[in-house]
């Protein structure tokens, strides 16, 4: 979200714009699947690592990112669509669902974590690009 000095709407419907006052408007694109994806990974994929982290006094999310860092960007072709809770921007589709695409026997837990993080980042980047397009 950002504040702009005149209303701008997205012809493709990816973002919103509302008035703050006569000279300021908010333009943005809220997403459903950022922290909720991290929590899902923590609770469903990393249960044993989380228990170890708790015993050692380590933040489980630090463990999550550490494990993901073992894999190069691109997760060796594994893609994650992060729509575990439908999606607002840029899709505006409550029925959107998450999925792994390209999963093979060679992929491991760290690939799944990396792909999930990248899926969230890509979705946020898509919203960012939509905002840039609308503002220019």
Please write the tens of the pLDDT for every residue from 27-72: 999 999 999 999 999 999 999 999 999 999 999 999 999 999 999 9
d(CA 114, CA 78): 9
Two tokens at 127? 């919203």
The CATH architecture of the domain made up of 30-126 is: 2-Layer Sandwich (3.30)
Q: Structural domain boundaries of the chain?
A: 30-126
pLDDT at position 121, please? 98
pLDDT at 45: 93
Indicate the DSSP class of residue 86: B
Measured from the Cβ of residue 22, the count of other Cβ atoms closer than 10 Å reads 6
Q: Which two tokens stand for residue 41?
A: 């990974």
d(CA 84, CA 90): 15
What's the pLDDT score for residue 6?
A: 96
Contact assessment for residue 63 and residue 46, using Cβ atoms and an 8 Å cutoff: yes
Give start and end residues of each alpha helix (H) in 15-108.
35-40, 47-56, 60-68
Q: Are 64 and 41 contacting, i.e. CB atoms less than 8 angstroms apart?
A: yes
Query: Residue 53 and residue 43: Cα distance in Å, rounded?
Result: 13
């Amino acid at each position: 979200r950002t504040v702009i000095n005149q209303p701008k709407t997205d012809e493709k419907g990816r973002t919103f714009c509302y008035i703050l006052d006569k000279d300021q408007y908010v333009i943005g694109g809220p997403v459903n699947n950022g922290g909720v994806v991290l929590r899902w990974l923590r609770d469903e994929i990393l249960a044993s690592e989380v228990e170890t982290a708790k015993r050692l006094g380590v933040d489980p999310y630090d463990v999550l990112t550490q494990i993901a860092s073992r894999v190069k960007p691109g997760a060796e072709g594994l893609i994650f669509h992060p729509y575990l809770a439908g999606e607002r921007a840029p899709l505006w589709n409550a029925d959107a669902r998450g999925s792994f695409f390209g999963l093979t026997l060679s992929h491991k837990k760290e690939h799944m974590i990396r792909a999930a993080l990248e899926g969230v980042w890509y979705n946020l980047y898509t919203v960012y690009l939509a905002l840039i397009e609308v503002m220019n």
